[in-house]
């Protein structure tokens, strides 16, 4: 297996935390790896949120594997996590797996422009907390016989598809950012919103959440179900 040499133990620990959170939502999660130069981009899709999560990892030296100087492979998140040695700041690239549909639909590399209307980090966290509280309250108000998946999904769609501030970003994108450790309390650094074509991207110092904007009756996201 090809070894990845991460910049330091902190990068290794953050990558391990990201993979662990993805696996919490999907024990068979896959991630798409793209490495070029000293940057490794790790893409994952936690199914509960229907968004694309992106974690950029710094490498200690440019990627190389024989004559190959770039990497683009979809692998098991669990196998990648098992291969990660935080103390040595290394990880082995697992064998490729059959990629899920989302792995073939990634946001563009460039063309991103800033979008206005996004609240500051603290109001964003408060917004998520209020949405979670509302979801719990509304589901608890249901009669026992109505606490079925279709009803819970209906309430969830109503809450999480709302937009944030004066932007077009759905609340579930901010919820995903917080759940995956990208929107940490007390963290420094800007939280910004960008767009490119049909994509929106919420970017923090710890990672990004991307969603696609679609029209009509479909919800914002990578899939509708």
**One pLDDT digit (tens) per residue for the chain, 225 residues:** 788 999 999 999 999 999 999 999 999 999 999 999 999 999 999 998 989 999 999 999 999 988 899 999 999 999 999 999 999 999 999 999 998 999 999 999 999 999 999 999 999 999 999 999 999 999 999 999 998 999 999 999 999 999 999 999 999 999 999 999 999 886 667 899 999 999 999 999 999 999 998 654 344 333 332
What is the value of pTM for the model shown?
Answer: 0.90
Same domain? For 95 and 13 the reply is yes
Same domain? For 205 and 117 the reply is yes
Same domain? For 117 and 91 the reply is no
Cβ atoms 163, 196 nearer than 8 A: no
- Cβ neighbors of 146 (< 8 A, separation 6 or more) are none
- Could you count the other beta carbons within 10 Å of the beta carbon of residue 87? 8
Same domain? For 93 and 122 the reply is no
Segments forming the whole domain that contains residue 154: 113-212
What is the Cα–Cα distance from 189 to 204, expressed in whole angstroms? 7
Number of independent structural domains in the chain = 2
Residues, the chain: 225
């Amino acid at each position: 297996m090809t070894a990845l040499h991460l910049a330091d133990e902190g990068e290794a620990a953050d990558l391990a935390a990201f993979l662990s959170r993805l696996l919490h939502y999907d024990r068979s999660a896959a991630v798409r790896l793209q490495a070029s130069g000293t940057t490794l981009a790790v893409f994952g899709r936690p199914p509960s949120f229907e968004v694309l999560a992106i974690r950029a990892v710094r490498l200690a030296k440019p990627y190389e594997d024989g004559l190959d100087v770039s990497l683009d492979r979809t692998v098991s998140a669990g196998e990648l996590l098992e291969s990660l040695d935080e103390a040595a700041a290394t990880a082995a690239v697992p064998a490729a797996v059959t990629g899920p549909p989302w792995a073939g639909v990634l946001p563009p590399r460039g063309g991103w422009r800033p979008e206005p209307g996004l609240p500051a980090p603290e109001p964003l966290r408060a917004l998520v907390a209020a949405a979670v509280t509302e979801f719990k309250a509304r589901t608890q108000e249901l009669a026992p016989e109505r606490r079925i998946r279709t009803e819970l999904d209906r309430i969830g769609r109503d809450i999480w598809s709302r937009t944030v501030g004066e932007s077009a970003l759905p609340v579930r994108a901010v919820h995903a950012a917080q759940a995956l450790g990208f929107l940490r309390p007390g963290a420094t650094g800007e939280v910004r919103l960008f767009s490119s074509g049909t994509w929106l991207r919420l970017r923090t110092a710890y990672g990004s959440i991307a969603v696609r904007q679609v029209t009509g009756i479909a919800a914002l996201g990578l899939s509708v179900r």
